[in-house]
Amino acid sequence: MDIREGILLAFLGINTVSDIKTKKILSWSAWAFGVFGILYGFISGELNLLLAMTTVLPGIVFLIISRITDESMGYGDGIVVLIMGTYIGIQKLVSSLMIALLFAAAWSIILLVFLKKKKQAEFPFVPFVLLGYLGGLLIWSV
């Protein structure tokens, strides 16, 4: 695991706790980790302007979905995905999100079928993003 992956893991861990407790991400962490990710990427040469624009596309899509659905998926989730893109790139980000969405879908089924929650029941998404990222780390290390 390189330094960027470790820092992203810290960002996701901090915001998982915050999302579970308050249903919000911490704005200071978004700014701090976001700025660091962008600066580190440009200084290290791993990120250029074109690459930076493509890596944030999934986050922009999440923000648009948040706007369209009146925050059924919160803006914080989109910001987390936006920041993730600057750290791990589009391919790893998309695979992490696919894993996260699978875990979230499984949790939704548990809520609906076993815990008898309503279809509109809300739950924090960042913990699933963290699980997706961890799953991705396992896959990428093989």
**Cα–Cα distance list, 138 to 18, 55, 85, 135, 141 (Å):** 25, 21, 18, 5, 5
Q: Would residue 8 be called left, alpha or beta, if left means φ above 0 and alpha means ψ between -120 and 50 degrees? A: alpha
Tokens found for residue 71: 């925050």
Residue-by-residue pLDDT tens, the chain, 142 positions: 789 999 999 999 999 999 999 999 999 999 999 999 999 999 999 888 888 889 999 999 999 999 999 988 899 999 999 999 999 999 999 999 999 999 999 999 999 999 888 887 889 999 999 999 999 999 988 8
- Could you tell me which of 34, 35, 12 has the C-alpha nearest to residue 25? 12
- Could you tell me which of 33, 29, 30, 15 has the C-alpha nearest to residue 127? 15
Tokens found for residue 111: 């809520």
- What is the structure's pLDDT at 21? 97
DSSP of 84-120, one letter per residue?
HHHHHHHHHHHHHHHHHHHHHHHHHHIIIIIS---TT
- What is the structure's pLDDT at 106? 96
**Cα–Cα distance list, 45 to 12, 32, 51, 98 (Å):** 24, 20, 11, 27
Domain ranges within the chain, ordered by starting residue: 3-140
- Specify the residue for token string 């923000």: 63
One-letter amino acid at 79 equals I
Contact between 13 and 130 under an 8 Å Cβ cutoff? The reply is yes
Q: Would residue 122 be called left, alpha or beta, if left means φ above 0 and alpha means ψ between -120 and 50 degrees? A: beta
